Amino acid sequence: MTEGDPPRKPPTIEDVARHIGLSRQTISRVVNNKGKLRDSTRERVLSAIQELGYRPNSLARGLVTSKSQVVALIVPDITQPFYPQIAKGVEDGAYEAGYSVFLSHTAGNVDREINALERLQGHRVDGVIICNPRVDDAALDQAINNAFPVVLVNRKLPGVRGTVIWPGYDSGSALATEHLLQLGLRDLIYIGLERGHQVQSEKIRGYREQLERYNVPFDSGRVLAAVESFQGGYEAMRAFLERGDAVDGVVAFNDSIAIGAMRAALDAGRRIPEDLAIIGFGGSEVSAMVSPSLSTIDVPLYSIGRTAVMELLNLIAGTEEQHGEVHISPKLQVRESTTKKT
């Protein structure tokens, strides 16, 4: 019966105004809670809005206010661990503040990252959070200066505006290493990534510091390079074990690698943790699900996300310095993989 009601245009503020014989401005006032107006008027307007199902058009509003009430989160790949939790923190914080959030993922591709940035610029987002940015400093700087405030997660950008959220990779790694050292283990190895980037080098720094603190010589030959995955950890560990060098403890770059390494060790007949203790990094859900469960460095991802939006909203509101660094401390989470049974 209902005749084809194709894209029926939504009601405008004008429609509401005419519906009750008032001016647009009055409607606008009650919608935005600005200025004083009679309660009875407010009531009438509110019920008219209700009746017509009026929703203020954010596009029009943004056009005049130069504020879109939108922020964006750029991640390399939302399916990778870390990002979903960060995204949740961002979403929650934004939601509470009345902001909507764009999600863009870049597939670790610089061009796509730049492209996303430009598109967001077109949408006039009020601010952007970028996780593990791949673009170079100049591009970032340009975006920050010309388009919108930026919060960086996992990337330090010296001399550039924008706030940086930086999980304490060095301290976390130190925590992990010290934990093994306190267990009396001395033949440690580190399984990291192929190419050193900022995160990797910080983690190795923490590892090395603790080694030296315990008077264990740091041997770069005992820092293995692995592909960033379960498989990568497996391969690296298997290859190392075949060398026959002594090892009683493994510090891994992240949980996936750690679990891969653990699996390889088990397959090679090592008992965990009796023969070999392993500790990961990240505090992923998986770490509790594997058997033996994996000790790890718990990174408070959700609060990283939340902190990131809060900082961003501050930047947007202009109530804060244009740059700064927020450090977030990870915690040691001890599980079976480093617990000698008594």
Partner DNA sequence: CTGTTAGCGCGTTCAG
Partner DNA sequence: CTGAACGCGCTAACAG
Contact of residue 108 among DNA, its own copies, none (CB under 5-8 Å per partner type): none
Interactions with DNA, residue window 49-68 (CB under 7 A): 54-57, 60-61, 63-65
Neighbours of 236 (CB within 10 A): 25
Instruction: Pick the stretch among 34-42, 131-139, 140-148, 226-234 that binds DNA (CB under 7 A).
Output: 34-42
CB of 130 to its own copies, least distance (A): 15
Instruction: Give CA angle at 248 (172, 235), nearest 5°.
Output: 80
CB of 339 to DNA, least distance (A): 59
Site membership for DNA, residue 32 (CB under 7 A): yes
Looking at beta carbons only, is 45 or 265 nearer to DNA? 45
Looking at beta carbons only, is 113 or 178 nearer to its own copies? 113
CB 30 within 8 A of CB 37: yes
Strands 249-252 and 277-279: parallel
Task: Rule CB under 8 A: choose which of 63, 110, 239, 334 binds its own copies.
Answer: 63
Contact of residue 37 among its own copies, DNA, none (CB under 5-8 Å per partner type): DNA
Residue count (the chain)? 342
Contact of residue 13 among its own copies, DNA, none (CB under 5-8 Å per partner type): DNA
- Structure tokens of 122? 């077109």
Looking at beta carbons only, is 13 or 252 nearer to DNA? 13
Contact of residue 195 among DNA, its own copies, none (CB under 5-8 Å per partner type): none
Task: Rule CB under 8 A: choose which of 20, 97, 101, 268 binds its own copies.
Answer: 101
Q: Is 139 exposed, middle or buried (0-12, 13-18, 19+ CB in 10 A)?
A: middle
Element (H, E) at 303: helix 301-317
Looking at beta carbons only, is 130 or 188 nearer to its own copies? 130
Task: Rule CB under 7 A: choose which of 3, 5, 6, 36 binds DNA.
Answer: 36
CB 308 within 8 A of CB 153: yes
Element (H, E) at 128: strand 127-131
Site membership for its own copies, residue 12 (CB under 8 A): no
Task: Rule CB under 8 A: choose which of 12, 28, 41, 121 binds its own copies.
Answer: 121
- Structure tokens of 108? 């670790």
Q: How far apart are CA 323 and CA 329, in angstroms?
A: 20
Neighbours of 277 (CB within 10 A): 24
Task: Rule CB under 7 A: choose which of 13, 90, 236, 294 binds DNA.
Answer: 13
Interactions with its own copies, residue window 225-254 (CB under 8 A): 230
Q: Cα torsion at 247, 249, 251, 254 (round to 10°)?
A: 100
Round to the nearest angstrom and report the end-to-end CA distance of the chain. 77
Q: How far apart are CA 159 and CA 316, in angstroms?
A: 20
Interactions with DNA, residue window 268-287 (CB under 7 A): none
What DSSP line would sit under 151-196, residue for residue?
EEES---TT-SEEEEEE-HHHHHHHHHHHHHHTT---EEEEEESS-
Q: Under rule CB under 7 A, how many of the chain's residues touch DNA? A: 29
Which residues are near DNA by CB under 7 A? 9, 12-14, 21-26, 28-29, 31-32, 34-38, 41, 54-57, 60-61, 63-65
Which residues are near its own copies by CB under 8 A? 5-10, 53, 55-60, 62-63, 66, 68, 70, 73, 77-79, 83-85, 87-88, 91-92, 95, 100-105, 107, 112, 116, 118-124, 145-147, 230, 256, 259-260, 263, 266, 285-286, 288-291, 318
